[in-house]
Structure 1
């Protein structure tokens, strides 16, 4: 009864139920209530308040920026293991604090470190929104991340935000436009970025080219990704903490792309990746099982496909991943 009355506007959602629904649906409070957030009243003469905010922003120390980044890292770890749906309120508050610090920072020496922290946090928030199915929120977060990266004069963060944003275009049905954006991201990075980030950008281009039907470009981009990736087991990019990529991850990516292309060796690559997958990357494991289901479907191996779809759905439900559940549903319809 409450749901019907909420939908028809006959009963407002109480704070108690709003907290429960935000966690279940992975939405912000304003998205849930379909209303703009309340605006605090202002005084006629706001100069004292403005100067107070400017003074506060100018006193943001290196230790406070580190605290912001530590909070982003904690949210990234929780997202990787538990999913994004339960982190919406925390992420919203974190971004608001960073934006407030940046909005009232005047000089570049104060703005750049905060802008860099905001760029990293906004990109994480955007990917969480993509995973939760909140696409408009994701797009706005990517635009915020790009503006912050430009403010910080950080081409690596700008290129990474553009690269992830290209996925939104692909999943919206515009893979060719996504290819254009990822290539623009590569040009933005130039020769200044880390090898691991360059490998990530080229692997992303390869995947989007597969969706766009650009088969030769797909294979050429992946060869460049392999050539760019540093050797060894280390997967974390020290200069771009959002990037986790080593040979094992790239092998899984190769299997995903080969599954999209219908290549016979996709299954072998994906099983190899499954054996070496980090169990803390729960949502990534859901994607890996979905890729295996797709590869088995291409070979008309329906029992194996169904087995992996069941496992993928279990993991997607565990993390609340709307994006992965959508993939599972699309493949299940082909069985």
Structure 2
């Protein structure tokens, strides 16, 4: 390892594959070299026309296969974490970008662009979780361009809303609030109720981080008003959105904890009791939220117990973002 770090020995292909999965980084990030251009360089007209012809044959079943692959990666990410999926996610995005770059007519481009928008947003959130914030930002920019190409305002608004978290984590919470509100304006009233509830809840959380307590409470109330009733969490119009009353209760508890509201603990314990056990990383976040809420009430033993659970689950999924939260709270014990 010392020889790798000091440049005396190159990292072999075998060890590079191990390290990418362990650290959740791309090959370029691991080796410290610039990313290659995402647009393949066509070698003459014959090669260009071959790629265009290949892209024109992308059919409905192939687009479905792209989306199925994204769904599989989403499920694996939810249960195992993002770090172990870096190679699969990188290859998946490269395939989708290649198909879109050489698709000519809108009838071919739109379904591929929509698939790319969904996959890029997932890849961006995985990058945030792995601590690769620049990669996350670039993926969100790709997702927004793809959503515009697909003429899909819901996907555009969702990418903007998630991108706001990069700004918040970087310490620009006021700018993050502006971005998520711009996402709401982009969506208007045409989006699904779950997505609108998600954007309101995101605004409430970001306002809490920005010290805008009254705005946070108003946004949270708006989210509670529009969330559909019942246990169903998956948004049929926006497959990356998982949100029902129970999920929103957990989110509400997190926001109330940020605001220093005593009701946070009750709301979070209610969410813990009904949480889907397959949402491993989200469960780590919930235990972290509970630790934060107990700390605000000077209940240090309870806070420490939840931090231990959060640390265990964050390590299981390789979540750098959750481990950072756990470390910051641990310093306050």
| TM class, shorter-length | over 0.9
What is the aligned partner in structure 1 of residue 318 from structure 2?
320
SS at match of 2:20: helix
**Following the alignment from structure 1 to structure 2, what is the Cα–Cα distance between the partners of residues 42 and 89?**
22
What is the aligned partner in structure 2 of residue 190 from structure 1?
188
**Following the alignment from structure 2 to structure 1, what is the Cα–Cα distance between the partners of residues 253 and 286?**
9
SS at match of 1:243: strand
Q: Which of 157, 162, 169 is the equivalent residue of 1:171?
A: 169
Displacement of 1:36 in angstroms is: 3.5
Displacement of 1:35 in angstroms is: 1.5
**Following the alignment from structure 1 to structure 2, what is the Cα–Cα distance between the partners of residues 55 and 64?**
15
Q: Which of 230, 237, 240 is the equivalent residue of 1:239?
A: 237
Displacement of 1:262 in angstroms is: 1.0
| TM-score of the superposed pair, with normalisation by structure 1 | 0.97
Per-residue CA deviation, residues 225-260 of structure 1 (Å, 9 max, x unaligned), is: 111111111100000000000000010011000110
What is the RMSD computed on CA atoms of the aligned residues?
1.3
**Following the alignment from structure 2 to structure 1, what is the Cα–Cα distance between the partners of residues 34 and 189?**
43
Per-residue CA deviation, residues 93-144 of structure 1 (Å, 9 max, x unaligned), is: 0000000000000010100000000000000000000000000000000000
What is the aligned partner in structure 2 of residue 146 from structure 1?
144
Per-residue CA deviation, residues 263-306 of structure 1 (Å, 9 max, x unaligned), is: 11111100000000000000000000000000000000000000
Displacement of 1:41 in angstroms is: 10
Aligned 8 A contact 2:16 2:27 in 1: yes
Cα distance change, pair 97–215 in 1 and its aligned pair in 2 (3 A)? same
Q: For this pair of structures, how many residues does the alignment match?
A: 332
Show structure 1 runs of 5+ residues with no match.
Answer: none
**Following the alignment from structure 2 to structure 1, what is the Cα–Cα distance between the partners of residues 35 and 191?**
38
What is the aligned partner in structure 2 of residue 220 from structure 1?
218
Displacement of 1:42 in angstroms is: 6.7
Aligned 8 A contact 2:173 2:210 in 1: yes
What is the aligned partner in structure 2 of residue 268 from structure 1?
266
Q: Does 1:74 align with 2:72?
A: yes
**Following the alignment from structure 2 to structure 1, what is the Cα–Cα distance between the partners of residues 7 and 35?**
17
**Following the alignment from structure 2 to structure 1, what is the Cα–Cα distance between the partners of residues 101 and 285?**
38
Per-residue CA deviation, residues 40-71 of structure 1 (Å, 9 max, x unaligned), is: 9978x610000000000011000000000000
SS at match of 2:180: helix
**Following the alignment from structure 2 to structure 1, what is the Cα–Cα distance between the partners of residues 245 and 268?**
13
Q: Does 1:97 align with 2:109?
A: no
Show structure 2 runs of 5+ residues with no match.
Answer: none
Cα distance change, pair 190–42 in 1 and its aligned pair in 2 (3 A)? closer
| TM-score of the superposed pair, with normalisation by structure 2 | 0.98
